[in-house]
Amino acid sequence: MKRRGWLAGVALAMAGCVHGYGGCLFVSPIKHTLTGRVHFRTFPSPSGGVETAPLLTLDRIAYIYSPAQSFMCIPADELQLEGISEFPERVVENSHVSVQGQIVAATSSSDHTRFLMQVITLLPDNAGH
């Protein structure tokens, strides 16, 4: 009986963790800071034209817990950046940046990745060069 209680305790402690990585990132309203490279990609728009979307290709795969999509953590290697109208002058294609914001699940046809980051701050990261 003690062994079952111990195993249940270990299972509960490990819930929300990815072996070898750590805890999962939670979706909004929790804020996270991630690093990676900015890329500007073009996608077909719902109106028939094309639209350019800024994506953050992460330095390290993020495991995101979104209960609306799965009870397991979902890996993400890139996030669409949302809520930033103008990038700092030093941020160009393939710039290494640090981004703070909230992660949300994609919900519309203009969302091009499974998850988006609603940007609070975006700073060039000189250490990534």
Range of the domain at 102: 2-128
Where would I find the beta strands (DSSP E) of the chain? Answer: 17-18, 22-23, 25-26, 31-44, 50-65, 74-82, 96-105, 115-124
**Total structural domains within the chain:** 1
**Widest CA span in the chain:** 64
Place of tokens 């969302």: 111
As a whole number, mean pLDDT of residues 103-124 equals 93
As a whole number, mean pLDDT of residues 82-86 equals 90
12 has pLDDT over 60: no
In this structure, what DSSP letter does residue 129 have? Answer: -
The pLDDT of residue 21: 61
The pLDDT of residue 122: 95
**Does residue 45 sit in helix, strand or coil?**
coil
More confident residue, 9 or 98: 98
Task: Give the whole-angstrom CA distance, residue 97 versus residue 35.
Answer: 6
Task: Give the whole-angstrom CA distance, residue 44 versus residue 55.
Answer: 15
Q: pLDDT tens digits, residue range 21-56?
A: 667 999 989 999 999 999 999 998 888 899 999 999
Read off the CATH number of the domain in which 19 is found. Answer: 2.40.50
As a whole number, mean pLDDT of residues 76-83 equals 96
The pLDDT of residue 46: 80
More confident residue, 110 or 103: 103
| Global pTM value | 0.79
Is the separation of the CB atoms in 69 and 94 below 8 Å? Answer: no
The pLDDT of residue 47: 84
What values do phi and psi take at 3, rounded to 5? -65, -40
Share the mean pLDDT of the chain: 85
**Does residue 1 sit in helix, strand or coil?**
coil
The pLDDT of residue 71: 85
The pLDDT of residue 8: 45
